[in-house]
Amino acid sequence: MKELQSARLNKSLSKVPKWADDRRPLSDDDLQSYIEGDPEVDAGLVCFELFDYGMLAVSQSLLAAHDKRATEANRLMSFGIKRMLYADMITLKKVQVTRTGGFVGTLDGCTHLMLGAIALGQPQLVAPFYQEVLDGVEGGYGAGDGHKPPVSSTLRYAAFGLSIISEWLGNPLDLDKHALPRDPAWGQLVAHWREPAPEKLLPVLLAACDVHIERMAVTDREASQDKKYEFSSTFLAVHPTEILAVLRLRDLLGLPNPTQIDHPLMQTPYAAITCRPGEVTENDELLDRYLAAMRQHDPHVLPPGL
C-alpha cells in the first residue's frame, strides 16, 4: 500500500517542473487595455485573462517551492488563488446582473478555490464567494449542482468541501437539496474536522491524505476519468489544499493541530505552501490595478463587500 502510494505521488511530483513551465497566459491584451481605461473592452472577457494570470502565479509558486524558496512560494500561491477566485466571483456577478454568458467552471473548481483561499490566509474572501456560487447554483446561471451535474465530475469533492465550509460559516449546506453525494471516503474528515483532540484527528487526516493520493490522476488515461480522479492536474495532485485548509480553519477556531502529519503527501515542499492571515504582506499590483479599474468602470458587477 505504502509503496503504491509513494509511486503515485512520485510520478505526480516528477511532473511539476514541466507542468509549471507550460503555464502561460494566452494573452494579456484585454486585461492591460481594461486597466488603462479602454471602454471597448468587456469586463467579463478580462476575467478569463485574470484567471490565466492566477494560474501563472500558481505555477511560479510550485517552482519556487521546488527550489526551496518558501516565502516566495507562499506569496505567489496567495496571489494566484486570489486572482482566480476574484475572476470567478466577478464573472458570476456579471452573469447575474447582465444575464449574458460567462464560464465559471464546475462546483468542484469553485470549492477548491474557497479551500485554497483558506489555506493561503485569505479566509475573508470565502463568505462572499460562497454566496455568489450558491446564488448562481440556485439561480441556474452558475456552476451546476447535482440536479445539473457536469459530465466530468461526481461532485463528491464539492460536497465534501462545501460541507466543511458551510459549517464553518454557520449555515450548513443541505446536500439533499442540491443532490450532492455523501462520499464515505471524505465523510470522516467532514464529521471530525472540528475534533478538539489533535491525537484523535490525526488518523482522520492520514486517511484523507490516502484518499488524496488514491484520487490523483497520474496517467493520461486517469486524467481523462475525472469522475474517478478528482485531482486531475499536477497542481491539484501535489498541493494538498483541502488538508491545509482544514488545518488553517482549526487555527481560526483556536483548535490545536497535530504537531506532525507523518504522511508522504505532507512531506513534500508543496505541502508547505500555506500561510495564516496576515503572513503575506505584499500587495498584488496586477489585481489591485484591475479592481481599481473595475470600481471605476463597472462597479455594478462587483459583489457586495468588494
What is the distance, to the nearest Å, from the Cα of residue 135 to the centroid of all Cα atoms in its chain? 19
Q: Cell 486517511 belongs to which residue?
A: 207
Distance between CA 185 and CA 208 in Å, rounded?
A: 8
pTM: 0.95
Segment 32-70, tens digit of pLDDT = 999 998 888 887 789 989 999 999 999 999 999 999 999
How many Cβ atoms are within 10 Å of 170's Cβ, its own excluded?
7
User: 124-159 pLDDT, tens per residue?
Assistant: 999 999 999 999 999 888 899 999 888 888 999 999
**Cell numbers given for 238:** 501535489
Low-confidence spans in the chain with pLDDT less than 70: 1, 25-27, 99-103, 305-306
Q: Give the integer Cα–Cα distance in Å for 115 and 104.
A: 16
Cβ(80)–Cβ(112) below 8 Å: no
Instruction: Read off φ and ψ for residue 153, nearest 5 degrees.
Output: -145, 150
Q: Name the residue type at position 186.
A: W
Residue spans of the domains in the chain: they are 2-301
Pull the grid cell for residue 276.
495564516
